[in-house]
Structure 1
């Protein structure tokens, strides 16, 4: 039986499709048992990691960051609050990133926030699939951020009956500095860049 070849989507449509799927998942009624907060990593290049050291874990109750072997960083978000603290914890582990939580109906401005964003192929900040044992969190590779570059993590968040949820993640590497996020209204996808 012949299987059809994989088809490529036009530039940017992978992210839009993922945001749509994540929004639809977020609309699905939840069980009465409150599940642990989970993040799904965006599409990216596969990076293998071998667990050979005890991870270092720092963080607040709202989130935790864990340094993994090979310099990868596992991010677990329990509550979508205090992005500045998450940013500080990631920087303490050597990741030059900015972190923003973007509520439903908003997006980060100004556009563009940086002179140039690298493609996933040039610098895959997110690790997908994540290493074994880290499937329910979000893993980044800060080594892809070179001198003079800044990683950008935007988490699309929405209020739900049982708490705040992350509906999508945008992870890229920018050339040079990144402008602070000013939340602006948008009728479209919050992570549309």
Structure 2
């Protein structure tokens, strides 16, 4: 009987998280698309480090910053890349078919040695959000917060 109870407890410890999944509590979702792009949906502005690690596992080096209310990062945080992606091939673009905080990334357009910098903010009052992105060659500097006069 004790062996049966231990087996059921072990099975429950593995099966319940698998069946329920971590999506219920995840701050974000990452979807790998057939065209090679990656869709990121931000559910809560937390766990940026975890999201960076997951995207790195897909070969996308990122620096993700969730900004406090009415703030932005001062300037560009490294050596910004001048090259633009080919026409009709956006590097990052908002998803119209998904929830408001979704965007796609085209990993194939990020060359080795470059980091995709993503800075995201949301207005608690209006629930609108904004996304700033650019590529940096070499190390990415820290985000130094400054007031954002264009954000309400």
Which residue in 2 is equivalent to 1:177? Answer: 139
Moved over 4 A (4+): 119-123
CA distance in 2, matches of 1:115, 1:189: 26
CA distance in 1, matches of 2:84, 2:151: 19
Count how many residue pairs are aligned between Structure 1 and Structure 2.
125
The yes-or-no answer on 1:138 pairing with 2:103 is yes
SS state at 1:66 partner? strand
Q: What is the CA deviation profile of residues 63-97 of structure 1, one whole-angstrom value per residue up to 9, with x for unaligned ones?
A: 01111123211101111222222212211221111
The yes-or-no answer on 1:126 pairing with 2:92 is yes
Which residue in 2 is equivalent to 1:54? Answer: none
SS state at 1:103 partner? coil
TM-score, with length taken from structure 2: 0.68
| Cα-Cα RMSD | 2.8
Distance change >3 Å, CA 103–CA 74, structure 1 → 2: same
Distance change >3 Å, CA 85–CA 92, structure 1 → 2: same
- Structure 1: gaps spanning 5 or more residues: 1-57
- Contact 1:107–1:186 under 8 Å retained in 2: yes
More helix by share: 2
SS state at 2:73 partner? strand
Which residue in 2 is equivalent to 1:12? Answer: none
- Contact 2:70–2:123 under 8 Å retained in 1: no
- Structure 2: gaps spanning 5 or more residues: 1-21
The yes-or-no answer on 1:83 pairing with 2:48 is yes
Which residue in 2 is equivalent to 1:23? Answer: none
- Contact 1:125–1:151 under 8 Å retained in 2: no
The yes-or-no answer on 1:115 pairing with 2:79 is yes
